Copies of this chain bind each other. A is one copy, B any other.
Amino acid sequence: MCEKDKETTTMIIVLKQDAPDAQVREFCHELQDMGLQINDSKGSDTHILGLIGDTKAIAESWVLANPVVETCRRVSEPYKKANRKFHPDDSVIDVNGVKIGGGNFAVIAGPCSIESEEQITYCAQRVKDAGASLLRGGAFKPRTSPYSFQGMRSEGLDLLKLARRATGSPIVTEIMNTEHLPLFENVDLIQVGARNMQNFELLKAVGRQKKPVLLKRGLANTLEEFVMSAEYIMAEGNENVILCERGIRTFETSMRNTLDLAGVVMLHKMTHLPVVVDPSHACGHAWMVPQLAKAAVAAGADGLMIEVHNNPAKAKCDGAQSLTPDQFDELMGFITKEVEFFGKKMN
């Protein structure tokens, strides 16, 4: 398949009309020294170079910096391991027995942050009973303000593991720093949060270990940048990446973020990786979550990530967007039927 990658024109460069021949030749030699073939097309008035070969490592800004270049355009995608063109079948990621992708639908649920053993164990049992197959809970919390609750940190991880022991549900929790990696050895699915989507050192670190990774889209990152961040993880050897759309930043102020469900559709064309949707963070309002969850299923999501708290009014974090266990029960009743209606299999 990489063969195909190598045979195709991957970048088109339009040269300036008045570019001196000597400089053009020098530029072409530079490109050839990188192992690229050049399809040179010179008309009476126009001069176009089609590059054939692996241009993934060539930045457009480098091409544009050359004085002979008028403009350039990448034709092939700058990602390979995550690219559906080279891996047409859906990837199915196995999280300790729970399958996500390729027709397998999974619901991840739990509180925004772990607050006590009672709280996390109670939530774990309720979301499991309602049909969630994975338990979420934050131990390290990224907060805009240094004065906000920063999570129970390693102690929280311990409580989350107790909840797993009690319920048997695999656990998902967020890592914020490479130095914390040893603490995550027993976590089933390691989450990289939106604010760290381009924390490249962290991406490399989770790419060098074997646990599956749930990568959330950055607040203002394009879909291509999102897939490139997955590529960072995969390029280090860990191909078990699940993408998570969680809303993007726009001018709208009535909701926390704008959920980009069209992004889910586009991601499924760009990449073979599974895509789950987090409606809770996207909108920030608990009352919107059920309807958005239904829309996400219809948009083709491979799973959902939903915040559920035993007592949202007392939650230390993001209570306004948390469902109660009873509300979650009701939602799961509908979602289970909807997943079937759309031809997928609920885990």
Q: Which of A48-56, A127-135, A182-190 faces chain B? A: A48-56
Q: Does A292 contact B (CB under 8 A)?
A: yes
A158 within 8 A of B: no
Q: What is the CB-to-nearest-CB distance from A283 to chain B, in angstroms, rounded to a whole number? A: 6
Q: Which of A315-338 contact B (CB under 8 A)?
A: 315-322, 338
- What is the chain B residue whose CB lies nearest that of A196? B199
Number of interface residues of A (CB under 8 A): 109
A117-150 Cβ-contact flags toward B at 8 Å (1 or 0): 0000000000000000000000000111111111
A99 at the interface (CB under 8 A from B): no
Q: Are B250 and A265 in contact (CB under 8 A)?
A: no
**Smallest Cβ distance from A168 to chain B, in angstroms?**
30
Contact present for A298 and B288 (CB under 8 Å): no
Within 8 Å of chain B (Cβ to Cβ): is A162? no
A41 smallest CB distance to B (angstroms): 4
Contact B252 A148 (CB under 8 A): no
In-complex Cβ contact of A319 among B65, B253, B341 (8 A): B65
- Which of chain B's residues have a CB closer than 8 A to the CB of A179? 178-179, 201
Nearest residue, chain B, Cβ from A256: B61
Determine which of B44, B56, B254, B318 lies in contact with A222 in the assembled complex, contact meaning CB atoms within 8 Å: B254
A106 interface residue (CB < 8 Å to B): no
Q: How far is the CA of A41 from the CA of B14 in the complex (A)?
A: 13
Q: Interface-forming stretch among A71-79, A87-95, A208-216? A: A71-79
Given A64-B319, A65-B319, A179-B201, 13 additional A-B pairs, CB 8 A: A56-B145, A61-B319, A61-B320, A65-B313, A146-B228, A147-B235, A150-B200, A176-B201, A178-B179, A196-B199, A262-B282, A291-B298, A291-B299
Residues of A at under 8 Å CB distance from B? 7-9, 12, 14, 17, 39, 41, 43-46, 48, 50, 52, 56-57, 59, 61-62, 64-67, 70-71, 73, 75, 78-79, 142-150, 176-180, 195-196, 198-202, 204, 219-220, 222-225, 228, 231-232, 235-236, 247-255, 258-263, 265-266, 269-270, 282-284, 287-288, 291-292, 294-300, 312-313, 315-322, 338, 341-342
Instruction: List 6 A-B residue pairs with CB atoms under 8 Å apart, sorted by A's residue number.
Output: A7-B45, A12-B12, A61-B317, A196-B199, A248-B252, A255-B262
